[in-house]
Structure 1
């Protein structure tokens, strides 16, 4: 499985190729799926380009992408979009159009309640477990662990020389992870080293402008689709 992460928390300052409107996200998703991506992860945006869990904007984003692709689509629930846990929970409960799955960062306040609300609504939960946090320990204690869709093992170490070892340490922390599938990925300078590790370990992975703005050779990535093409070439 190769998931494409279309935009992340990036904005206009990160380049015109980062999709920020529903229409641009839908076009980017269509191109990435045509290139071989089998799942989409997206951050809905306000008109000024900030991440949001607004029911209206989540619906507009999902509707636009679903009009172009038929693969599963997931969204973020990152605390940076709405820092207050109660506000974040209320917005998710008010969603009128539901994603196929949503990522929940287990180290963030209110993660358990948010995951429970998503599961109650029939939305799959990607358990976001970040290196450098207590997310793995919290997830190991969670009664919701066995009900999650998969673990999104996120390597926050961006140093190319050490991201791989950090990834292995994170996987060790996760242990059996309730038997849930693991999607392993890195970011920025660590994105390609961790993707290569995921390939060697036979794990699902992801790639896209959220995780890296560069191709494996260091050149600027022109699109999400090109990143997917390069990732699939490395995955063999």
Structure 2
């Protein structure tokens, strides 16, 4: 099982005192998260104003800074429409990336997702299918690319643990019926983050944790930061082994 540290997501600057935004903050935080037990880091690039950005002039220096800090750690970037609302402009920006991450997440419920996934696969970037709903799972199955994805991120966004796990189960059923045999990472968000993480561990799945997914520790107290969240997740993984 692997731990992915999701460092910032689409959270606004200031949402948490330790939320990393700048290149230096992200590099330092990524290093600390890996030292705490993370196997990979997932990042939403930010421009100088703190806004999400997929611009090549943001992505290239960010990746250079991260690789200097973490030469042997896989780095994942988002392609979410939260970072570029126009699907066609997003495609153009990703096409113009001169530096490439090890992997990239593509949310399959978003317009233009299959085209971006195909572009990244053609550029030999591992693509992780972000699947929030059963409908998104069906898009994955029907895309003609399913076997070429590296991993499925089962990402229920419901507010309660019961609803989130029910949605995840329905997503899994769609993938199982299609015979889609890809690694599946399961994670929740905010109030469901820790219960869903425990469910993923019990099922032997890869997990993800960080300030993108939750600002709080399992007791409901404000988390110290990404490294602390990863350390807590690593302890739970060891206990579940």
Using the size of structure 2 for normalisation, the TM-score is: 0.94
Aligned to 1:93: 95
Aligned to 2:208: 206
Instruction: Give the Å deviation of 1:177.
Output: 5.9
Query: How many angstroms apart in 2 are the aligned matches of 1:130 and 1:154?
Result: 5
Q: Is the 8 A contact 1:167 1:194 kept in 2?
A: no
Match of 1:187 among 189, 195, 202: 189
Instruction: Write out aligned runs for 1:52-67 (5 A).
Output: 52-67=53-68
Instruction: Write out aligned runs for 1:10-159 (5 A).
Output: 10-69=11-70, 70-131=72-133, 134-159=135-160
CA spacing shift, 1:225–1:109, aligned 2, 3 Å: same
Aligned to 1:233: 235
Instruction: Give the Å deviation of 1:165.
Output: 3.0
Higher mean displacement: 84-93 or 160-169: 160-169
Aligned residues: 235
Query: How many angstroms apart in 2 are the aligned matches of 1:80 and 1:190?
Result: 21
Query: How many angstroms apart in 2 are the aligned matches of 1:177 and 1:88?
Result: 31
* Local SS of the residue matching 2:46: coil
Alignment of 1:165 with 2:166, yes or no, is yes
Using the size of structure 1 for normalisation, the TM-score is: 0.96
CA-to-aligned-CA distance 1:12-62 (integer Å, 9 cap, x gap)? 230220000111000010000001100110000011211110101111211
Query: Which blocks of at least 5 consecutive residues in structure 2 are unaligned?
Result: none
CA-to-aligned-CA distance 1:93-116 (integer Å, 9 cap, x gap)? 100110000000111111111011
* Local SS of the residue matching 1:67: helix
CA-to-aligned-CA distance 1:116-153 (integer Å, 9 cap, x gap)? 1111111110011013x621111111111100010011
Query: How many angstroms apart in 1 are the aligned matches of 2:29 and 2:222?
Result: 16
Query: How many angstroms apart in 2 are the aligned matches of 1:153 and 1:72?
Result: 20
Query: How many angstroms apart in 1 are the aligned matches of 2:183 and 2:83?
Result: 27
- Please give the root-mean-square deviation of Cα atoms over the aligned residues, in Å: 1.3
Higher mean displacement: 134-143 or 154-163: 154-163
CA spacing shift, 1:217–1:178, aligned 2, 3 Å: same
* Local SS of the residue matching 1:178: coil
Instruction: Give the Å deviation of 1:86.
Output: 1.2
Aligned to 2:175: 174
